Amino acid sequence: MIRRSHGRLDGHVVVVTGAARGVGALLARKLAARGANLALVGLEPDELKEVSESLAVDSDWWHADVTDHVAMAQVAAEVKERFGKVDVTVANAGVAAGGPFTDSDPVAWRRVVEVNLVGSAVTGRAFLPLLTESRGYLLQIASLAAITPAPMMTAYCASKSGAEAYAHALRAEVAHLGVRVGVGYLSWTDTDMVRGADQDEVMRELRQRLPWPSNRTYPPGPAVDRLVAGIERRSHHVYAQGWLRGMQGIRGYLPGVIGTVGGREMRRFAPRLAAGGGHRGLVGAGGEADEAARSAR
């Protein structure tokens, strides 16, 4: 358990989606350590309950699919009834799929966009009325994938770019209501999702050949500390790894660079991909949980 300290979030109610594992679970623990009360949302009831019960604050959890408008509206109503308010909402839920686009599983590809982009919008739609009441803060979790394209990650890049653009547009719409909107950017972070992607040899080797520091896997602790600090400041941009800030200044050049360098790398990997290399479905334990939940329905 993370030791509790006093901070700007004392008594605040924070909603975190995708809170069963990875960045979401650690974020919940670190927010609780800063005095926040937590409402956790996700698809894994046992894991959500475990995270909730580990927090030394008032917390509760809801089993819901962030792409379901009806379910998320019900969650928002129940969170309001349970806690009386919502001060911060973190749209963190996400899944990923890898592999060449032409060979990708169309269901998995669509699901990445549905969870990462549509699910973020559904989350915002559900909780913005409560954030308006509290003049609160919405943090949309994006990615390095929103800043730069990457081969073998078409769905993830498209979804995170879309989520970033949605949040920037929303910021202007709700500013006069006292609601602030931020975007959080993470590079490769040591989570189930990244470890799942690395199980595929082609994906792992392709990532290792990226230029430093984008080829590193970063520990989640410092990354989540930066997210917590951004939430406390209600920042417009939160960079989980400091070097990501510098990427913003050169992002206009990145598609051309990636098109050239990435094209060369894909040509090198083409024989292995033709032989069946490259993961096609959702990756990691979170992806497995999403697929299991959809199968159960």
pLDDT for residue 155 is more than 80: yes
Determine phi and psi for 283, rounding to 5 degrees.
-110, 155
* 32-60 mean pLDDT: 97
Choice among 19-33, 153-167, 190-204 with the minimum mean pLDDT: 190-204
What pLDDT was estimated at residue 199? 73
Query: What's the CA gap between 287 and 94, in Å, rounded?
Result: 9
pLDDT digits (tens, 9 = 90+) for 229-265: 999 999 999 999 999 999 999 899 888 888 888 888 7
194's CB contacts (< 8 A; 6+ apart) are 188, 217, 284
Confidence grade of residue 150 (pLDDT, cut at 50, 70, 90): confident
pLDDT-derived band at 3 (thresholds 50, 70, 90) equals low
Rounded to an integer, what distance in angstroms lies between the CA atom of residue 210 and that of residue 220? 20
**Apex 102 CA angle, 122 and 263, nearest 5:** 105
pLDDT of the residue at 193: 78
Would you state the pLDDT for residue 197? 72
The predicted structure's pLDDT at residue 182? 98
Judge contact between 136 and 179, C-beta under 8 A.
yes
User: Which pLDDT score, from 0 to 100, does residue 44 have?
Assistant: 96
Residue 47 binned pLDDT confidence (cut-offs 50, 70, 90): very high
- Please give the Cα distance from 209 to 197 (Å, whole number): 15
Average pLDDT in the 258-284 region?
75
Give the residue with greater pLDDT, 151 vs 24.
Answer: 24
What is the rounded average pLDDT of the residues 39-67? Answer: 97
| Coil/strand/helix, residue 67 | coil
* Phi, psi (degrees; rounded to nearest 5) at 39: -115, 115
Task: Identify the sign of the CA torsion 81, 184, 293, 102.
Answer: positive
Residue 67 — pLDDT band, cuts 50, 70, 90?
Answer: very high
- Kindly tell me if the per-residue pLDDT of 125 is higher than 90: yes
Residue 134 confidence (pLDDT) above 70: yes
Q: Which amino acid is at 186?
A: L
Nearest in space to 32 (alpha carbons), one of 16, 56, 15: 56
Which is higher by pLDDT, 8 or 4? 8
What's residue 65's pLDDT? 98
CA dist 227 → 28, 54, 185 (Å): 11, 20, 9
